[in-house]
Copies of this chain bind each other. A is one copy, B any other.
């Protein structure tokens, strides 16, 4: 299962284009260049649509911050973008990526609150997977001194989404129960950690069985992702759960609503089930729209239930709620400083390894977040490896219960 996560494919060895930088030294010497390296999606489709190439160095406009990127977050959503499997996809070619961490290198006019050299994390409306990013001031946040760049790139989107869903859309309080799918993923682990900050929360999670040993301390009840989770939850809690967080969509919406206790909240925050293969799936966005069962408000009235949708990207980039997100980020950084939460990094990948990284998240091989490490050379390095001991093509399927996995057990205070 994890094979694709670490195997350098033949294709990758040739994906660095003629103008690409092949040596890490060259990368570092590019700081003063007029060009930068970036991952480019040449068209919607499979992994072969991804390239690392040089692009013109962006310069900050008024109100923007220019960031020398150290690490970028890779999300399931990036797969859907690659397939064009989103509403109103932008035009290609484009540079994917919505979040990064790095160092402030310059500021546009009328840009207060940051200084050159500040360590920051940022949301970007595409273009994050590059050596340099410019993004509006409102989407940039200083990071704590003891937070590494990969941790910061793993922190922003997953924790903000998890926090807003649990505490703003739903109303998580003492004694409640939460069901989260993909409990081993970035959002799943953020949800589990945030639940641990509230007394007596029961977390039900689904995840591939091979992840269970690694994440079992973060989740109260773990089910294999292929079992009938509705039956499993009901065996333990016949009256259901208070909050269902669903990133799968499709038939899981009806299942999730059915599992809710009275006054419970179902939140749809993704539709990863729409991605079934490497290329754009039969279940395209337009089709999924019609296949999701619609909900009658009177049924919600009779059953005392709540259904919500949550899209952090729309909130930030279409709906102008950056200030609400900033407030949430301040709360999250406070929780981080109190050591109550800590982002879980699955693995670090060079820009040139983006295909392998995407394949790993597609195969749900990750435990925690996949990070593109901009300064990393194209050799796989697992999160807790102190040296480059991993080898290309290394099999990881036997990891269950071994010490390497234990090292990756999420930090739960």
Of residues 268 through 326 on chain A, the ones whose CB sits less than 8 Å from some CB of chain B are: 268-269, 271, 288-289, 292-311, 314-315, 319, 321, 324
A60 within 8 A of B: no
Identical copies in the complex: 2
CB distance from A45 to the nearest CB of B (A): 23
Q: Does any Cβ of B come within 8 Å of A21's Cβ?
A: no
- Where chain A touches its partner, the secondary structure class is mixed
A302 to B315, CA, bound (A): 9
Which residues of chain B are within 8 angstroms of A310 by Cβ–Cβ distance? 301, 304
Decide: B307 and A300 in contact? CB cutoff 8 A. yes
| A 247-283 to B, binary, CB cutoff 8 A, 1 in contact else 0 | 0010001000000001101001101000000000000
Select one of B87, B171, B269, B298 contacting A288, CB under 8 A: B298
Known: A171-B171, A263-B169, A297-B292. Contact between A306 and B308, CB under 8 A? yes
A398, CB-defined interface residue at 8 Å: no
Q: Which residue of B lies closest to A306 (CB)?
A: B308
- Is A168's CB within 8 Å of the partner chain B? yes
> In whole angstroms, what is the CA distance A288 to B298 when docked?
9
Among A249, A295, A304, A319, chain B packs the most CB atoms within 10 A around the CB of A304
| Residues 357-396 of A contacting B (Cβ, < 8 Å) | none
B169→A301 contact, CB < 8 A: no
Are B321 and A295 in contact, CB atoms less than 8 angstroms apart? no
Contact of A303 with B296 in the complex, beta carbons under 8 Å = no
CB distance from A117 to the nearest CB of B (A): 34
Known: A169-B306, A294-B296, A303-B309; 12 extra A-B contacts, CB below 8 A, are A262-B321, A263-B315, A268-B301, A294-B297, A295-B295, A295-B296, A301-B310, A301-B311, A303-B314, A304-B309, A304-B310, A307-B307
A-B contact pairs, 15 of them (CB 8 A): A87-B302, A168-B263, A249-B297, A249-B298, A262-B314, A265-B308, A292-B296, A292-B298, A294-B294, A295-B307, A297-B307, A301-B311, A302-B309, A304-B309, A304-B311
Top 9 A-B pairs, shortest CB-CB distance: A301-B309, A300-B309, A294-B294, A306-B308, A262-B319, A268-B297, A295-B295, A268-B301, A171-B171
